[in-house]
Amino acid sequence: MTDRYCVFGNPIKHSKSPLIHEEFANQTQQPMTYTAELAPVEGFASAWRAFVAEGGRGANVTVPFKGDAFALCDTLSHRAKRAQAVNTLIVGGNGRTYGDTTDGIGLVRDLGYHHVPIKDKRVLVIGAGGAVRGVLEPLLAEQPSDVVIVNRTAEKATQLADAFADLGTLHGGGFDTVEGQFDLVINGTSGSLSGDVPPLPDNLFNQGAWAYDMMYGSEPTVFLQWAGPRGAKLLDGLGMLVEQAAESFFLWRNIRPKTAPVRTLLRQSLNIASD
C-alpha cells in the first residue's frame, strides 16, 4: 500500500518539496506519494482533515499555515512548543495529529554540512518573525557566544530575545543597535524576495565570517549580493530546505535519506529554470 504525504501552502505551485521527497522515497525505496496541496487561506484545518480522511499519513506545512498547524495539533514536540509553529504533521495510530518543526534542525545541519562554526561565535539574526522563532532553539543548542536579534520593529526583537533567554546569551533591538562584528549573520526575513536589504553597517563581518540567507534562488539573493563585497562567505537557504525535509521524512518513515545528491539535483533544477 502506498502512503500519502503532501505539503500545504498558499501559494504552493512553486514548491520544491514534491521533488525532494520523490527523490528521498526513490533513494530509500519507500512506498509513498507526495503532492503539493493548495489550501484556502481561511481553511487550512478543513484541508488537513479532508486529507487525513482520504488516507493521508502526514504533511509538511509552509507559508502561511505554520501557526494554523500548531493550533490544530493534539500533541506537540518540545521544539514546536518553543517555536509556536509546526511545519511537520504526523497522523498517529490513534488518528490524533502530532506536530513538530524541523526548520531549525534544517538550518543547523546545513551550516554543519558547509563546516560553518557556531560554537563560541557571535551570531546576528535579522528578523523576528516565525522563520526566526523556528530556528532559535536548535541554533542556541550549538552554544554560540551570543546571539543578537535585530528587526525593523525593535520591540519584536526584544520580546523574542526575552522568550529564549533561558537557552543562551541573547539580545534584541532595532537595526540602529547593531554593534561590533559577527562571525555569522543570518537573514531570516523575506526581504530578499522584494529586493530589500536591511540597513546594516558595512563593517559587520569578522574575518572569515559567513552570511546566510534563508531565501534561495538561481542567483545570489540581494542580501548575499550586499554581504559578498563586505568580506563574507555566502550561503543561501537551499540546503536548509533539503535538510528540514530530510528530518520530516525521518519522522514519517523512520529512515534517514542522504541529502547530498538531492542538494545537487535541486541546485541543477534552479539553474536550468533560470536559463
Residue 152 assigned as binding residue: yes
Residue 153 assigned as binding residue: yes
Confidence tier at 1 by pLDDT (50, 70, 90): confident
Residues 180 and 117 in one domain: yes
Does the pLDDT value for residue 122 go beyond 90? Answer: yes
Tell which wins on pLDDT, 195 or 42: 42
Confidence tier at 195 by pLDDT (50, 70, 90): confident
Instruction: Give the pLDDT confidence of 219-231 residue by residue, as tens digits.
Output: 999 999 999 999 9
Tell which wins on pLDDT, 198 or 213: 213
Which residue pairs, CB below 8 angstroms and at least 24 apart, start in 130-134? Answer: 130/66, 130/67, 130/83, 130/84, 130/85, 131/103, 131/188, 131/189, 131/190, 131/214, 132/160, 132/188, 133/83, 133/84, 133/85, 133/160, 133/163, 134/66, 134/83, 134/85, 134/87, 134/101, 134/103, 134/104
Average pLDDT, the chain: 94
- Tell me the whole-structure pTM to 2 decimals: 0.94
Domain that includes residue 15, residue range: 3-100
Confidence tier at 272 by pLDDT (50, 70, 90): low
Residues 36 and 65 in one domain: yes
Q: Is the peptide bond before 64 cis (omega within 30 degrees of 0)?
A: yes
Instruction: Confirm if 128 and 157 have CB atoms less than 8 A apart.
Output: yes
Q: What CATH number does residue 156 fall under? A: 3.40.50.720
Residues 110 and 78 in one domain: no
**Residue 209 covered by a domain:** yes
Task: Quote the number of domains for the chain.
Answer: 2
Residues 34 and 118 in one domain: no
The residue from 66, 81, 119, 121 that is catalytic is 66
**Residue 247 covered by a domain:** no
Does the pLDDT value for residue 171 go beyond 90? Answer: yes
Residue 15 assigned as binding residue: yes
Of 84, 100, 116, the one marking the end of a domain is: 100
Q: What CATH number does residue 72 fall under? A: 3.40.50.10860
Residue 216 assigned as binding residue: yes
Distance CA 96, CA 113 (A): 35
Residue 120 assigned as binding residue: no
Of 69, 85, 100, the one marking the end of a domain is: 100
- Per-residue model confidence (pLDDT) at position 262: 97
Does the pLDDT value for residue 258 go beyond 70? Answer: yes
Instruction: Check if 66 is active-site.
Output: yes
